[in-house]
Structure 1
Amino acid sequence: MRITGYRTLTTVHDWGRPIGDVNGAVGSGKTVVPIVVLTTDSGLEGIGLGHHQGLDVVFPALEGEDPIAVQALYDRMLSWVFKSGHGGAVFGAIGALDMALWDLKAKAAGQPLWRLLGGRDRIVPAYASGLDGPLTDDELAALQTRFADHGFTAVKIKGGLDVEADLRRLHLVSDVFHDRTGAAPALMLDANESWSRKEAVRHIGRLEESVDLAWVEEPVRRWDVDGLTRVSQSVRAAVATGENLTGLEQFRPLLQANAVDVVQTGSVWGISHFLRVAALALAFDLPVSPVGYNANPIAHAATVVPNHLSLEVQDLHLPFGIESDQEIEDGHLVLGDLPGLGLVVDEAAIEHMNEAADWGRHGGPHVRPERAGRRLVRKPSLHPRSPGASPR
């Protein structure tokens, strides 16, 4: 079996609500989902989710190759761009192709990827998220009620600008879960790199006066070894980071300096990257937690990682035209037996789709605000209180 080419598709994930974080929001709640289909001379095809930008640059490293040699081909793609660099969107393109290669390999073996990788159990621990930055209190409560009703016992919310709003929302979510499940959840806060070092320590310190946080995510810039170390040593909560790091060389300084307590990876960067980061984290006795993405493809690899902590689930629905052989039961992701990643793509439906989406536009979550990390006053409008709501 040899790789002959690829084709790309773009579908839409309709979240059914505004989404975003401290950096910005997508008011429409509709985001693009790039799909890559890797073709072979046998007729077998592999599906990958991730970036399209950079595919034309790295695909020549795969053309004519046997897709079964996944990890060697992963290194071949990295080597293909070693002069120009593999960061950013190019790393996303490598991740999408890597995901498609693993899908192909498992399909060729007639096994779900979790089984091919050596997984003993198809059940993956997970926590609820939701990109809930722009939601009102009522909207946040409604969203987290749905997560609680699916059995989740841990939840992460967005915050970082207004400590009083963060406290109110954390207590609100805790109350929702307690009312629905009879127990308070583990709570996490994601600041999305919005603080300076001292801002982070001061803000988290205020929260910890009344909230027990399991972790705080990306309190300062992703590469700030000294800053992350300072925050980790100054607060009770664990510091989680890594979703925006691309390559082991970016993780190593953080782990060597004890700057991270929960090692994260972006699911969009692919299967091989997650496996390698998890192995590096294991060498430092650290847990690893993949950040969520459409259809949760990294869950397959999580089944074979001994230091896997929990997988982020961002939404209970799938993008248009994509089906996935998985279920959510008792706060866990349960993988099925369909060969490969378990993804089925309705290309005809996607081709005739008439939906617009956005994500990386100005004012969205992928554009860093000018005053990030340099704010002296809070912005209480980040998390609007629901009409008629009273202070806690």
Structure 2
Amino acid sequence: MHRLPDTPPLHPAKVQAFVYRAPIENPVQTSFGIMHDRPAVLVRVEDRDGAYGWGEIWCNFPGVGAEHRARMLESCVAPILQERQWAHPAQAFETLSRRLEVLAIQAGEPGTVAQIIAGADMALWDLAARRLGQPLWRLFGGTPRIVTYASGLSPTDPQRLAAAKHAEGYRAFKLKVGFGEERDTANLRALREQFGPDTVLMTDANQAWDEQTAAHMSRRLAEYGPIWLEEPLRADSSPEQWRRLALASPLPLAAGENLRGDAQFDEAIDSGSFAVIQPDPGKWGGFSGCLPVARRVIAGQRMFCPHWLGGGVGLVAAMHLKAGVGHPGYVEVDSNPNPLRDLFAGPLLRPDEGTVTLPDEAGLGIEPDLAAAREFLVPHGYR
């Protein structure tokens, strides 16, 4: 069993949330909903000596959810973190998870609670690594180079956006499907014709189909050679349904962004149904939860590809998570316009032939430009 690296003790004095909303010209479509703007909830944890770290909470859906998550962080997580000194970020993660477990049940919000804990955990690890003067990828025992793919190619003219991302240095591309058989197959065929037989393509159905439709669509899409089919079924489908689909599908299956907790990830790894496991460090686990999961994924001979679709702080965290464990796999970078990604992640969004090299600066290695993002800051109303 791999253990998490040692870190200095931390005693948070201040825990803050910052809510941003950036307008976009074209809504982002998925099979289950539309994003009319790009939200981000950043977390800043400051220690008693003035050192600080940054994290990000997943907040894309529902569209009104960002402000709520910020209030939850400041009302539920902050008081616990400020109570005492923590020997390790994982100790804080475990305590927060345990103490907020009943609240999550009572409020009917286990996902929201997991997300606010995850964002706080990211910030604690960034703080700890800054205190040590180490980049997170090195602290985790990895190397700085990762391979990226451009995700979020929508069903409307995906070739145009893919061409733009190719010009920026991306060499692998993921198409959203789940918009009708003919439209999905035509879009994937167009991408294959655009890039030729050797370019890596992926598909993501965002939980769009039932088992029969998923098996049929997998056979249709397989003709164009994507390396995986992501979330073709609802994430809460039974293990038996996933096993049947895995046997029927000519395409390898991918999932994980909507799993929470060690038990669910262990079940997914052990089931044999998934070739690719994709934890989202802003939805559950941060680094304390997702780093051990990543190592178990690799030990189980599955591909580890962290999920991320949000602002730039969480994206860079996903990059460090992947870099920290190494092995073949990809880090997702959303293709759609998002000033909150671009302002916070900066030069890491320009890969060299698909590859990004993370910086040697301590922690996440970035400093969010809050002044540049000021026009997108919105109040969230917690006192």
With structure 2 as the length reference, what TM-score do the two structures score?
Answer: 0.82
Aligned partner of residue 340 in structure 1, secondary structure = coil
Count of residue pairs brought into register by the alignment: 344
Name which of structure 1's ranges 255-264 and 97-106 shifts more when overlaid on structure 2.
255-264
Shift of 1:350: 4.0
Q: 2: distance between equivalents of 1:325 and 1:62?
A: 32
Measured on the aligned residues, the alpha-carbon RMSD in Å equals 2.4
2:308 is aligned to 292
Fraction of identical pairs, as percent: 27
Aligned partner of residue 202 in structure 1, secondary structure = helix
1:328 is aligned to 351
Residue from 9, 16, 21 that aligns with 1:7: 16
Residue from 271, 293, 296 that aligns with 1:280: 296
Alpha-carbon deviations, 1:150-193, whole Å to 9, x = none?
A: 33332111112311111111121223324xxxx64222111111
Gaps of 5+ in 2: 1-9, 58-68
Give 1:83-232 correspondences, 5 Å limit.
83-85=102-104, 87-119=110-142, 121-130=143-152, 132-133=154-155, 136-137=156-157, 140-178=158-196, 184-208=198-222, 210-224=223-237, 225-232=239-246
Shift of 1:147: 1.7
Q: 1: distance between equivalents of 2:352 and 2:150?
A: 12
With structure 1 as the length reference, what TM-score do the two structures score?
Answer: 0.80
1:53 and 1:93 in contact (8 A); partners too: no
Shift of 1:317: 5.7
Aligned partner of residue 232 in structure 1, secondary structure = helix
Q: 2: distance between equivalents of 1:67 and 1:325?
A: 33
Shift of 1:306: 4.1
1:124 and 1:311 in contact (8 A); partners too: yes
Q: 2: distance between equivalents of 1:190 and 1:58?
A: 33
Q: 2: distance between equivalents of 1:233 and 1:89?
A: 34
1:25 is aligned to 34
Shift of 1:342: 2.2
Shift of 1:318: 4.6
Higher share of residues assigned helix: 2
Q: 2: distance between equivalents of 1:93 and 1:329?
A: 33
2:333 is aligned to 313
Shift in alpha-carbon separation, 1:331–1:284, aligned structure 2, 3 A = same
2:61 is aligned to none
Shift of 1:346: 3.2
Shift of 1:351: 4.3
